[in-house]
Structure formats: structure tokens, C-alpha cells
């Protein structure tokens, strides 16, 4: 009994002296000062490194800025971009500016869409989609006419992501010059009249380019059933194997809660073309 009692006392004492588990901070509670500080850079140190002329120090500072995401450093990165630098530094600076997502950075990034280095041009196009704003939209509209096909495609995609309806005319111009990414952005942005303009290009622009835009129209909730049925009818009129494959794939993805009228039109079109659709161009 005494031995058992001694074991009980030992166990009870251990339980009494066991430290309480740390409480987790409530959801949405403000971060501790230490946690907030971990995401901030020493601005004066970053400034000194960026202005040092030492490429290794500059790249290190830019990596730190991008890793921490401290938006207070945006002006320092913008100043570096305005001064100019080597290609490796420019790529890192543009990437860092893009990661901070500050609209003010768009003006510093925009000129690099025309840089002699393809890597810098392409980095600039991607970063502008992140920094957003009117300046970014204006630059990306100009980017649609770049001699660099990657920049043209990135600019077209970016204008759609930024909801730049004011760029629809530019996107149609790019589409007519076979910038395939423009079709998807037009389909994402178009109202009834512009959706009709896109549809009118079916049969004129290669179908493989058109499908991404048509797909956007068909799956946008705000587009009317009548508009979608027009798309199905126009594609059905092609009567090609590619047209049937596209409509069949759309039908397979058609949501259960989406319009039964459009579903019926898709089903009828797939059956009408059948398995013997003409080859593209036939």
C-alpha cells in the first residue's frame, strides 16, 4: 500500500508541476511584434546595398526584399530600376517589384518591355500583371505590338486578368495577327457586341486559336443563353472534326446546374456533326 501510495504522490506531483500548454493565438489576432519584424527589412541597409554598385550585394538585397515582401522597400527597388543596371540585376529587381505588387512600381517597370534582353522584357510583362493599375494596362496594350512573341502573349493574357475592357480593340488587333492568348482575354472581357465580333472570326481565324475565347464565353455565368447558343450554332456550322471535339469536350464539362437549353444545343450539335466530321480545312 505504501509503495502504491508513493507512486501516486510522484505521479500527482509531476502532473502538478507540468507546465501548461501554450495557448494558440485566436484566429485573426494581430501578429506579435517579433513576427511582424521578421517580415521587415533594414531599409537603410537595403538602400546602401542597392546603391553600392556591388552586384553581389545588390542581388542579395533584392532577394531579401522579395523573400520578406516588405512593401516599404518598393521605392528603393523603383529607384534602382530608374537608374538602370546589368541584366541579372534588372531581372531580380523586376521580379522583386512584381512580388511587392505596388501600383507605383508599374511606371518604373514599363520601359523594360522594350529592353534589348528577352529575359528582361518578359520579366517586365509578367511583373506588370502583378503591379496593376492604369500604367500597367497602358504598357501591356503596347506590349501587344512587341516584336517578342512571348511578350505579346503575356500582355494579351495580362489584359484579360486585369479586366481591361478598354483594351478590347487592341486585343482584336492582336488576335487578327494570330496572338492566340488574345482570344481567351476577349472571351473573358466581351459584352454582347464584342462577343459577336469574336464569333464572326470563327472560320477566318484558325479554330485552334479561337477555342479558348469561345470556351470563356460558354462558361461565363453572366452571358445569356442566347449568346451561348449562337456560339454553339456557329461552331456546329463548321462541321469539322475539331469543331465536334471542342463541343463534345465542352458538353462533358457542362455543370449540372447550368442552362439545360445550352446543354441541349451542345448535345444536338455533337450528334449532328457525328463521327465523320470534315477534317479542318475540308
Apex 251 CA angle, 248 and 256, nearest 5: 165
Per-residue pLDDT tens digits of the chain, which is 282 residues long:
344 434 334 443 444 444 444 444 444 455 555 555 568 999 999 999 999 999 999 999 999 999 999 999 999 999 999 999 999 999 999 999 999 999 999 999 999 999 999 999 999 999 999 999 999 999 999 999 999 999 999 999 999 999 999 999 999 999 999 999 999 999 999 999 999 999 999 999 999 999 999 999 999 999 999 999 999 999 999 999 999 999 999 999 999 999 999 999 999 999 999 865 455 544
In a domain, 129, yes or no: no
In a domain, 225, yes or no: yes
Complete DSSP assignment for 29-85: PPPPHHHHHHT---HHHHHHHHTS--HHHHHHHHHHHHHHT-GGGHHHHHHHHHH--
- Residues 194/223, Cβ–Cβ less than 8 Å: no
Q: Rounded CA gap, 171 and 175, in Å?
A: 6
Q: Rounded CA gap, 227 and 197, in Å?
A: 12
Q: Rounded CA gap, 71 and 233, in Å?
A: 50
In a domain, 235, yes or no: yes
In a domain, 163, yes or no: no
pTM across the whole model: 0.82
Whole domain around residue 243: which residue ranges? Answer: 190-282
Q: Rounded CA gap, 176 and 130, in Å?
A: 27
- Residues 249/243, Cβ–Cβ less than 8 Å: no
Q: Which three cell numbers stand for residue 266?
A: 451542345
- Residues 117/94, Cβ–Cβ less than 8 Å: no
Q: Rounded CA gap, 229 and 242, in Å?
A: 18
Domains in the chain, number: 1
Angle of the 168-176 helix axis to the 149-161 helix axis, nearest 10: 150
Question: Around 280, how many Cα atoms within 13 Å sit in the side-chain half-sphere?
Answer: 14
In a domain, 261, yes or no: yes
Q: Rounded CA gap, 156 and 152, in Å?
A: 6
In a domain, 211, yes or no: yes
Q: Rounded CA gap, 270 and 239, in Å?
A: 9
In a domain, 42, yes or no: no
End-to-end alpha carbon distance in the chain: 99
List, for residues 174-189, the tens digit of each pLDDT value.
999 999 999 999 999 9
Amino acid at each position: 500500500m505504501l509503495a502504491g501510495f508513493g507512486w501516486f504522490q510522484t505521479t500527482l506531483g509531476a502532473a502538478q508541476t507540468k507546465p501548461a500548454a501554450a495557448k494558440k493565438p485566436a484566429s485573426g489576432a494581430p501578429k506579435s511584434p517579433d513576427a511582424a519584424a521578421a517580415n521587415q527589412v533594414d531599409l537603410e541597409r537595403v538602400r546602401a546595398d542597392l546603391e553600392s554598385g556591388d552586384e553581389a550585394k545588390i542581388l542579395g538585397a533584392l532577394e531579401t526584399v522579395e523573400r520578406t515582401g516588405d512593401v516599404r522597400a518598393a521605392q528603393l527597388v523603383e529607384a534602382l530600376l530608374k537608374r538602370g543596371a546589368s541584366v541579372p540585376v534588372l531581372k531580380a529587381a523586376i521580379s522583386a517589384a512584381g512580388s511587392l505588387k505596388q501600383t507605383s512600381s508599374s511606371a518604373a517597370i514599363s520601359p523594360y518591355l522594350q529592353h534589348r534582353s528577352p529575359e528582361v522584357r518578359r520579366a517586365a510583362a509578367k511583373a506588370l500583371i502583378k503591379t496593376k493599375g492604369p500604367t500597367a494596362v497602358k504598357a501591356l496594350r503596347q506590349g501587344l505590338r512587341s516584336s517578342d512573341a512571348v511578350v505579346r502573349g503575356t500582355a494579351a493574357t495580362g489584359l484579360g486578368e486585369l479586366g481591361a475592357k478598354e483594351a478590347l480593340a487592341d486585343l482584336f488587333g492582336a488576335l487578327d495577327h494570330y496572338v492566340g492568348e488574345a482570344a481567351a482575354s476577349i472571351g473573358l472581357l466581351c459584352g454582347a457586341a464584342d462577343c459577336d465580333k469574336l464569333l464572326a472570326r470563327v472560320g477566318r481565324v484558325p479554330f485552334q486559336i479561337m477555342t479558348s475565347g469561345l470556351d470563356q464565353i460558354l462558361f461565363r455565368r453572366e452571358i445569356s443563353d442566347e449568346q451561348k447558343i449562337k456560339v454553339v450554332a456557329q461552331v456546329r456550322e463548321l462541321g469539322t472534326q475539331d469543331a465536334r471535339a471542342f463541343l463534345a469536350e465542352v458538353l462533358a464539362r457542362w455543370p449540372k446546374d447550368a442552362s439545360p437549353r445550352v446543354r441541349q444545343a451542345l448535345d444536338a450539335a455533337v450528334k449532328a456533326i457525328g463521327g465523320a466530321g470534315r477534317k479542318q480545312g475540308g
